[in-house]
Structure 1
Amino acid sequence: MKQIENTLSSLEVAEMVGKAHNMVLRDIRRIIEQLAESKNALSEYFVESKYEDTTGRNLPCYLLTKKGCELFSTRMTGAKGTQFAVAYIERFNQMELHIKQEAQLPTDPMEILKLTFQAQENTVKEVEKVKDRVTDLEENTPLSPGDYGFLSRRINQRVNEISRSYGGVTREQRSKLYIDINQGVKAVTGTQTRTQLRAKHYDIALAFINDWEPSTATKMQIRQTSLEFGAE
């Protein structure tokens, strides 16, 4: 099977995932940088190429092998990730079947029908495997540094907002507020530490932080320390 025939162009991928081609090129180049760091064989995933646009210009693109599409799909989660996986699996199965038929096309109608059913069965199995992989990625993809940093900043902002509502707090009182909000984040996400947060936790953690109010116990502790401080 010729590798060059068994590829999808980055233009086709962009259309499949509903993204601008330059954004797909950006994502592929980031993956290539990581592949270079791990010393993987780049040609097994992506092949540099060119295409001619409507104005006659030769512009860069990439040809993605099946392994390249699988790797690219790991950057996508949810419905879009599954839809892209299904689309590229079907395309590659069609290409593989076409190449096999060109190499040795059976003349017996029953053999042709059997070959068609086998291709469909293989497609279903591959789709199920990809769905399982996408689900696993959604469950276990670590929170990105950018999202982790944003949640941390939002926690600081929310603690400051609450602190101002008290007319200012001491360092000890602020510490109690931080303990309270971090315990809440861990409770709603089911994690033991903030570093265990995953991408699937981002939305619920952010919603909690935005709506967070100190617990009754924490409020009472702050009031008590304020009274003690005032009595000194």
Structure 2
Amino acid sequence: MEKQLVFVKENEAVTDSVAIAEMFGKNHDDVLKDVRRQMEYAGIEFSLGNFSESNYTNSRGRTYPKYDLTEEAFALVVFSYNTKEAVQIKIRFIQEFKRMKEYIQSKEQPKAMSDKESLLASMKLTIQLNEDVDGMKEDIKQLRYDIDKKITLDYSQQQAMRNAVNKRVHKLWNEDMVDKSIYENTRRIYSALWKNLKDAYRVNAYPNILQKDFEEAMSFVEGWRPIFNGSHSA
């Protein structure tokens, strides 16, 4: 099987000194001398980026040093190989470098989607976005619910509650809607109403009634009537 002239190493197209020796009919040691000479001439910066020393194992299982070369390093080393046959071999190497670079580039670029694939991807993204939005709506709904369970009456609501209690107590007292033998004065009616209100909403003080229950609590106050069994006397 013919040796691969150009291969991929660390995502870069390279050849090696072994391939050069075989293709140009040279002794590998002589090619190594050519490589090292050009590295010396080219300088450290160029050499580090374009030549890489490694090893290979021959058919007898013995390990020897070799160099991997970029296309620029290859051109530098074989520049003086100018027989007719050598020029044809250079062309083959150049073609292989070009082919391998195109192969590397094709792997790096994402495959273009067909219209059908693009539509399906768009639909999938839309569905995912809708699911995310629905999830956010549920989270917001739950957050609002949690907040509603914690926010108590603000100052204006507390004032409105006190006014409603005052209005209800005076209405009950002035219209003789309470048993005045039990509720000797308005203070006892106030006490009974406040106690019933706190018990109804399970709070130790009316400001702790939740805002979500405000309207209902106001209706409770406006419709409240004392029980005439003495159980609400203070």
TM-score, normalised via structure 1 length: 0.43
Q: Which has the higher helix share?
A: 1
TM-score, normalised via structure 2 length: 0.43
